[in-house]
């Protein structure tokens, strides 16, 4: 079950369709949907998590805690809405597209994709783009 939680003044538009989209991506990756929580927050909230759990004193747009067991996807995905807004401006992207890219990025990590090397980042970006295209077809 996918849940959307809010620790900031933000409302996710089209949450039902986004929920269906995430579920279909999980199935397409030959995984099973378990308990997945998205927590939308601000920079301060995510920065504290970054410091406490990862020891990083930096801002980020997403932190995911993966509790996947076998093929069953479980996890908590924290997204800084502030950081997504800023990244959308930096990358000359609209906010909704950037937000959905981050949303699916967390799921792709749970499906085994990484982004440490150039090759991995290229593969991750291609997957993100493919799933964003599928989302646009149902919106």
Residues placed in the known binding site for Zn(2+): 105, 109, 115
DSSP three-state, residue 14: coil
First-to-final CA distance of the chain: 21
Going by the annotation, the residues of the binding site are 105, 109, 115
**Edge-to-edge strand ranges of the sheet holding 32-41:** 2-6, 32-41, 72-80, 62-66
Burial class (CB in 10 A: 0-12, 13-18, 19+), 138: exposed
């Amino acid at each position: 079950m996918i849940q959307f939680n809010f620790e900031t003044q933000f409302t996710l538009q089209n949450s039902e369709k986004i929920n269906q989209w995430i579920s279909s991506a999980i199935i397409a990756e030959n995984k099973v949907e378990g308990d997945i929580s998205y927590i939308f927050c601000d920079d301060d909230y995510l920065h504290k998590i970054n410091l406490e759990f990862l020891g990083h004193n930096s801002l980020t747009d997403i932190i995911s805690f993966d509790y996947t067991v076998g093929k069953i996807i479980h996890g908590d995905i924290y997204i800084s809405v502030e950081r997504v807004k800023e990244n959308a401006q930096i990358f000359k992207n609209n906010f909704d597209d950037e937000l959905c890219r981050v949303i699916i990025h967390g799921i792709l990590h749970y499906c085994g994709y990484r982004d440490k090397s150039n090759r991995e980042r290229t593969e991750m970006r291609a997957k993100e783009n493919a799933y964003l295209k599928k989302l646009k077809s149902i919106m």
